[in-house]
Amino acid sequence: MEDDAPVIYGLEFQARALTPQTAETDAIRFLVGTQSLKYDNQIHIIDFDDENNIINKNVLLHQAGEIWHISASPADRGVLATCYNRTSDSKVLTCAAVWRMPKELESGSHESPDDSSSTAQTLELLCHLDNTAHGNMACVVWEPMGDGKKIISLADNHILLWDLQESSSQAVLASSASLEGKGQLKFTSGRWSPHHNCTQVATANDTTLRGWDTRSMSQIYCIENAHGQLVRDLDFNPNKQYYLASCGDDCKVKFWDTRNVTEPVKTLEEHSHWVWNVRYNHSHDQLVLTGSSDSRVILSNMVSISSEPFGHLVDDDDISDQEDHRSEEKSKEPLQDNVIATYEEHEDSVYAVDWSSADPWLFASLSYDGRLVINRVPRALKYHILL
């Protein structure tokens, strides 16, 4: 029985890094990275059994340091990248590396080990993304839909494109570019567009959004003062190639058409503190998730700027005559945008939200106190979108 009730898991460590296991499209699976100064850091593999509504977990040791960002290979279920802090000569550096989990944990739907004291397994280091010349790593993004061989890392004011070679045991710097000019030239986040044959990446630094062409590493567009304060995150609409969402410390979520960057297409002002994360649903792009330091997760229905602004398009042949008139009436009027639900299961800043890569109606959110919550899109809305 599918239930709309949230499922909550406590990590017992502070945490801010979350990703679905992108290459796993059958089992519902998330990876969470911890931030502990006292203990060895860990990656928790969270398997959600949606038939029984329970979470199973396995733990991997990440002894390299506290994890600030985690991302999973789109092609290989066992491979992931982390950005983590390490201290060297009393200076703290944020580094990045690519890892492989043990073979037996690669595929989803694992039971938790019976013995709670069962030892955590270790990650195999595949390669470091050498950033000695480039500064602190903010994030690592994989080429979407790719073979898992191309990644981009953002380090201080550098955008670096890497080729992973020799079964990912070597990262070769293929090309790079740098931010130049005045002000705070430090990247905070980036996303790789699934459109344009995966040749475009968008980045955020300070209050500015920029688009880059990965073939020439040149800038394609620039949205200055996209937010009144620091931009925290961005995401591409999976179905509309020019559409991009961003969020930031001005408590706003903004939607952009990169062909005309003078004004946002739409602005959401539902959060009361910094917005850390924005994510489009991979299948139904009107569904947008945001997480904030106001401890709330908000699911919005941005249908007016979605790929189906008039609702689900039905083939004419499917409609009988008597329904014909009614559906025509209905389809002339674009549907209204609204907040679908506000989730209040967290008591601390929500630093990460993300959709499952296996189930389009399910998402996870993570707050700094180590609370992971799994929620579903309300059933009534799900059937409204589908029917």
Q: How many residues in the chain?
A: 387
What pLDDT shows up at residue 381?
A: 84
Dihedral pair phi/psi, residue 305, rounded to 5°: -115, 20
> Domains in the chain, start-ordered, CATH in brackets?
9-105+120-178 (2.130.10.10), 194-307+334-386 (2.130.10.10)
Q: Is the pTM for the entire model greater than 0.85? A: yes
H helix count then E strand count, the chain: 2, 29
Residues 6 or more apart in contact with residue 182 via CB below 8 angstroms: none
> ∠98-103-108 over CA atoms, to 5°?
95
Q: Is 372 helix (H, G, I), strand (E, B) or coil?
A: strand
H or E element at residue 382: helix 379-386
What pLDDT shows up at residue 334?
A: 64
Residues of the chain with pLDDT under 50: 1, 314-321, 325-330
Q: How confident is the model over 237-268, as pLDDT tens digits?
A: 999 999 999 999 999 999 999 999 999 999 99
Kindly state the tokens that stand for 15.
């945490």
346 and 296 Cβ atoms separated by less than 8 Å: yes
Torsion of CA 14, 20, 21, 22, to 10 degrees: -150
374 and 364 Cβ atoms separated by less than 8 Å: yes
What pLDDT shows up at residue 316?
A: 45
Kindly state the tokens that stand for 168.
């990912």
What is the β-pairing status of strands 7-10 and 121-122? unpaired
Compute the distance between CA of residue 306 and CA of residue 320 in angstroms, rounded to an integer.
27
Buried b / exposed e over 142-159, threshold 16 CB at 10 Å, is bbeeeebbbbbbbbbbbb
What sign has the CA pseudo-torsion 62, 64, 65, 70?
A: negative
Rg (Cα) of the chain, in Å, rounded? 21
Number of other residues whose CB lies within 10 A of the CB of residue 32:
25
Compute the distance between CA of residue 154 and CA of residue 161 in angstroms, rounded to an integer.
9
Q: C-alpha distances in angstroms, 282 versus 25, 337, 378? A: 12, 18, 17
What pLDDT shows up at residue 382?
A: 83
Dihedral pair phi/psi, residue 324, rounded to 5°: -55, -50
What pLDDT shows up at residue 1?
A: 43
135 and 155 Cβ atoms separated by less than 8 Å: yes
What pLDDT shows up at residue 319?
A: 45
Q: How confident is the model over 145-202, as pLDDT tens digits?
A: 889 999 999 999 999 999 999 888 999 999 999 998 776 689 999 999 999 999 999 9
Residues 6 or more apart in contact with residue 384 via CB below 8 angstroms: none
Kindly state the tokens that stand for 128.
């470091």
What pLDDT shows up at residue 211?
A: 97
**Residue 25: closest CA among 164, 145, 133:** 145
Compute the distance between CA of residue 131 and CA of residue 9 in angstroms, rounded to an integer.
34
- How remote is the C-alpha of 36 from its chain's centroid? 22
Q: How far apart are the first and last CA of the chain?
A: 20
